Amino acid sequence: MNEIQITVSICVPAESEDDNPLEQILLQKYSDRGWWFISGIVSNSESIKQSAIKIATEIAGTQIYLNKLLKVRSLKVGNATTQQHYLFLAQPIRTFLVGKAKNQKECKWADLSDLDKLYDCEKLLDRQPLHELQRLRGEYSGTYKSMEETADFIVDTNVINTSQTNPAAELIYAAKISTQDQEQLCNEFFKFTSPAEAMDKITFENYMRTKGIKENFDSYFRSFDSLRFGRLTFKNVLQGLASMEPSTPHGGLPAEIRCRHMFDYYRRADEMNLTREDFRKIVHDIRRAKMTSLNAKEVDEDAINGAKSFIWLNDQLTLQNFLESVGLLKFRGTSTIYRLPFPVMTSVDKPETNSKPSYKRLRSNDMECTIPESMESFDFKVPHSVPKQMAIKKPDRGYELATHSVRVKRGGGFSDVNSIWDLTGTCAVSDTNELDLEGDTSRFHRMQSVDCFNSKSHANEMLNGLRYFERQSKNSGGELVKKSMSWGKVQSDGLCKCLSALTDQVYEKLKEEPRLLKVKPPTFILGDIHGNFGDLICFEKSLWRMGPMLTPANYLFLGDYVDRGDHGIEVVSYLFAQKLLAPHKVFLLRGNHEVRDVQKQFNFHSQCIDMFGEKDGSMIWEKINRCFDVMPIAAVVDDKIFCVHGGIPSTKLLMDGQNYLGMEAINNIPCPLSNPEEDSLLAWDLMWSDPIPESSELMNDYVKEAFEKNEGFAPNTRRGAGNFWNLGALKSFLEKNGFSHVIRAHEVKEAGFQVQYSARLLTVFSSSYYCGGSNEAACILVDANKLRVIRLDTT
């Protein structure tokens, strides 16, 4: 049975004989780390109160009585409690007793001036003793939670791919640090900081040595200390470790956060910017990570050439310029540096979590001290879990000011983009300083906004190029010099380089998404595009004219972006660019044509070769398909609407032996998935399956017999891949998974959509005049508990 480590700390104040405000508190020295409240470990033979009184009395050299319980910290790993810490306030003692504390070398009395000095010279473990003495003197109005649990320290990564996501959650999710991993890291953190709540520099050095770091501890501490407090909270350390985790991808928002930490690591302690010498250290470390020569002349030459990628102001490189150049891939190699030598969880002791914890019970007369109102429901036994009435409701995520203001043309495009920061001091921004504008969350989000509105980013360069591609051009005399839907005299080399960089960036975004997306309404859902760039632009002008980022809806595409149509490359380029600019608003599912063998049977492979040549065309085609390999397979909108390219999967593919896994089975599909036909029958079924009505000419005796044997599923004899499924199979699927409808694509429909199976199934097709036919294009809006069909006039 696991024993809980129970510790107590006691704030012992001293007052003068004339009852003036409390002047001093008793501090204890913790080896070479610094000073804090007196503390000790609770004896198994004593109650918590008895141990606290005994520890305080022995150290103070006089009888100590407890006044009230200030705070409880309870940590768990899984269901097992691992640590408990209690902070008490003792009744004041008179100043004539001050100085009698036992072992004067290890204990001392400190007033406010002493505490300030200790903190400034990094000899106070954290600010809590200072705040407590200020509070006792009526000079501090700050608040703190009287009860803290593990959940108060954990970053919720379940909000990823929802409108409530936050940068810290994205980083930790990208680092693949699970909730249980966080619990174990939290337990480890407080073992190092005990009895204090924050981590000082000496403790940080000891801690980082367990993570394989052997040098430059001050630089690492500075990079973790984003708010410049001089001490680190658990979340500071968690985010720092996540940014250094070897497997954390160096793309998108995680890369931005990594670069912010990296910037602080390399800058000097007394500087806000990087110097040329600091930048040389970056180049040196990149070469070392790549195991290339560290010859001084070669490093100098690399540094001189690399510096040309940045904008330097008086030989200083600002954080913003550093982020922009690295984010735009003008300077490469940063993905290899600022990494731990091994995964963060490797060095973490994993306590047993299945055994029941032992804990001490306090008798009702064990606690004679006053209990603060916020603690009245606490029954003073070492809590295995916090009582329901003690639970503190977390506030909803608040709103924040976006980074840019945008002027929009009448036609929907942007004519002027300004940073809010740059407008400080003008009539547009008054009574507001830069710190008000740039909160912690805003700083994390800033790179995404820079990417979104920076016309030189690869995504915006591609969209600008596609605007040129779409429109015809005339000279001053009115003569047509370029037809619409053509590249005219644009060099394919430049387009190839831009698309290559775009695929590298979107790959990093897509590979971090789950195989089954969860999307919030309102959401527009589009079906097959099949290289029909003209219809895609019609949808843009109708539904997201100002771009997805400035439109209050999400956009879910159900696959089949390429083949059959003339402009598969342009369709992919457009969707990849929008995915980069609005990663949490644009979602791309994989269809059956996002497969190499299928494309070779149709025309997307040949389009790439024709446009870029044999070598570059093959490279671009492979890079695009590399992105298809990591695309999600299905999505659920509002927890009710199942969306997929082909159809619902056979029940047996959602089973694990006798256990029905349901949607969990979809999230278990391998990623990347280059050959779904061989590597995942479930993915193949989701991409290829079709419903079949009773009136269909394909409904023969063979199919009917298969339906009876296989719970409404039969081999898809029309396509030779996937299954047919009937109304019974659909009803069973919806009931088992708690869904109300299925929305799928995969089949051309004359009206652009079709309602089937008791209005529980909708098929949507978003490419008009498909293969020379007369069909319309449509999409579906999921909003306010309604499924609205929107048909597009593309004439």
63 vs 140 pLDDT, higher one: 63
Indicate the pLDDT class of residue 153, thresholds 50, 70 and 90. confident
Considering the segment(s) 197-346 as one domain, its CATH architecture is: Orthogonal Bundle (1.10)
Return the structure tokens found at 48: 């918590």
C-alpha span between 532 and 771 (Å, rounded): 10
Q: What is the mean pLDDT of the chain?
A: 84
Q: What CA dihedral angle connects 696, 702, 708 and 711, to 10 degrees?
A: -70
Close Cβ partners of 107 (under 8 Å, ≥ 6 residues apart): 26, 27, 28, 29, 38, 59, 101
Contact 273, 318 (CB under 8 A): yes
The DSSP code for 271 is: -
- Over the stretch 663-722, which tens digit does the pLDDT of each residue have? 999 999 999 999 999 999 999 999 999 999 888 888 888 999 999 999 999 999 888 898
For the ranges 245-259, 283-297, 430-444, 524-538, the maximum mean pLDDT occurs at 524-538
CA angle 676, 679, 685 (to 5 degrees): 50
Question: What is the average per-residue pLDDT within 738-758?
Answer: 94
Which pTM value belongs to this model? 0.52
| Residue owning tokens 């200083």 | 316
C-alpha span between 180 and 158 (Å, rounded): 13
C-alpha span between 170 and 244 (Å, rounded): 14
The pLDDT score that the predictor gives to residue 617 is 96
C-alpha span between 646 and 633 (Å, rounded): 10
Query: What are the structural domain ranges in the chain?
Result: 1-196+369-385, 197-346, 396-453, 469-792
C-alpha span between 51 and 86 (Å, rounded): 11
Nearest to 25 by CA among 38, 13, 10, 9: 13
Q: Per mean pLDDT, which range of 88-92, 328-332, 449-453, 520-524 is the poorest? A: 449-453
Q: Per mean pLDDT, which range of 120-129, 314-323, 629-638 is the poorest? A: 120-129
Q: For residue 100, how far is the Cα from the chain centroid? A: 53
Question: What is the average per-residue pLDDT within 292-321?
Answer: 93
- Over the stretch 597-626, which tens digit does the pLDDT of each residue have? 999 999 999 999 999 999 999 999 999 999
The DSSP code for 198 is: S
H or E element at residue 707: helix 701-709
Contact 627, 585 (CB under 8 A): no
Question: What is the average per-residue pLDDT within 196-205?
Answer: 92
Give the percent of the chain with pLDDT over 70.
82
Close Cβ partners of 499 (under 8 Å, ≥ 6 residues apart): 462, 569, 573, 620, 623
pLDDT of 661 higher than 80: yes
Return the structure tokens found at 612: 């870029």
Indicate the pLDDT class of residue 308, thresholds 50, 70 and 90. very high
The pLDDT score that the predictor gives to residue 44 is 83
Indicate the pLDDT class of residue 537, thresholds 50, 70 and 90. very high
Give the percent of the chain with pLDDT over 90.
51
H or E element at residue 483: none
C-alpha span between 460 and 484 (Å, rounded): 20
Nearest to 544 by CA among 382, 684, 408: 408
The DSSP code for 481 is: E
Question: What is the average per-residue pLDDT within 239-251?
Answer: 91
pLDDT of 367 higher than 50: no
C-alpha span between 735 and 725 (Å, rounded): 15
Indicate the pLDDT class of residue 251, thresholds 50, 70 and 90. confident
Q: Map residue 650 onto helix, strand or coil.
A: coil
Q: Is the dihedral of CA 545, 547, 551, 557 positive or negative?
A: positive
Q: For residue 653, how far is the Cα from the chain centroid? A: 30
Provide the CATH topology of domain 469-792.
Purple Acid Phosphatase; chain A, domain 2 (3.60.21)
The pLDDT score that the predictor gives to residue 105 is 55
The pLDDT score that the predictor gives to residue 373 is 41
Return the structure tokens found at 2: 């696991």
pLDDT of 635 higher than 90: yes
The pLDDT score that the predictor gives to residue 423 is 53
pLDDT of 554 higher than 90: yes
Question: What is the average per-residue pLDDT within 530-539?
Answer: 96
pLDDT of 534 higher than 90: yes
Question: In which order are the strands placed within the sheet that holds 713-715?
Answer: 690-691, 723-725, 713-715
Q: Is the dihedral of CA 53, 74, 168, 334 positive or negative?
A: positive
C-alpha span between 250 and 548 (Å, rounded): 24
Indicate the pLDDT class of residue 165, thresholds 50, 70 and 90. low
Q: Per mean pLDDT, which range of 201-205, 365-369, 754-758 is the poorest? A: 365-369
CA angle 158, 580, 408 (to 5 degrees): 110
pLDDT of 59 higher than 80: yes
Q: For residue 458, how far is the Cα from the chain centroid? A: 22
Q: What CA dihedral angle connects 593, 599, 604 and 608, to 10 degrees?
A: 130
376 vs 253 pLDDT, higher one: 253
Over the Cα atoms of the chain, what is R_g? 31
Count the helices and strands in the chain (H runs, E runs): 26, 29
Close Cβ partners of 36 (under 8 Å, ≥ 6 residues apart): 9, 27, 28, 30, 124, 125, 126, 128, 129, 195, 196
398 vs 57 pLDDT, higher one: 57
The pLDDT score that the predictor gives to residue 589 is 98
Indicate the pLDDT class of residue 793, thresholds 50, 70 and 90. confident
C-alpha span between 266 and 279 (Å, rounded): 8
| Helix ranges restricted to H, 430-562 | 434-437, 440-453, 458-470, 492-511, 533-543
Query: What percent helix, strand, coil does the chain show, rounded to 5?
Result: 40, 20, 40
The pLDDT score that the predictor gives to residue 226 is 82
- Over the stretch 438-495, which tens digit does the pLDDT of each residue have? 444 433 344 444 455 455 578 888 998 999 899 888 887 888 888 999 998 878 888 9
The pLDDT score that the predictor gives to residue 441 is 40
Strands 634-637 and 753-756: unpaired
Question: What is the average per-residue pLDDT within 497-526?
Answer: 95
Indicate the pLDDT class of residue 386, thresholds 50, 70 and 90. very low
- Single-letter amino acid code for the residue at 766: S
C-alpha span between 743 and 648 (Å, rounded): 10
Residue 250 buriedness (CB in 10 A; 0-12 / 13-18 / 19+): buried
Strand segments (E) across 203-291:
none
Close Cβ partners of 329 (under 8 Å, ≥ 6 residues apart): 458, 501, 504, 505
Q: What CA dihedral angle connects 496, 502, 508 and 509, to 10 degrees?
A: -140
666 φ, ψ to 5°?
-70, -40
Query: Does the domain formed by 1-196+369-385 have CATH 3.90.79.10?
Result: yes
Q: Map residue 446 onto helix, strand or coil.
A: helix
pLDDT of 404 higher than 60: no
C-alpha span between 463 and 550 (Å, rounded): 16
435 vs 76 pLDDT, higher one: 76
C-alpha span between 228 and 272 (Å, rounded): 12
Contact 8, 52 (CB under 8 A): yes
Residue 765's beta-bridge partner residues? Answer: 528
Q: Map residue 64 onto helix, strand or coil.
A: coil
790 φ, ψ to 5°?
-120, 120
Contact 747, 527 (CB under 8 A): no
Q: For residue 10, how far is the Cα from the chain centroid? A: 39
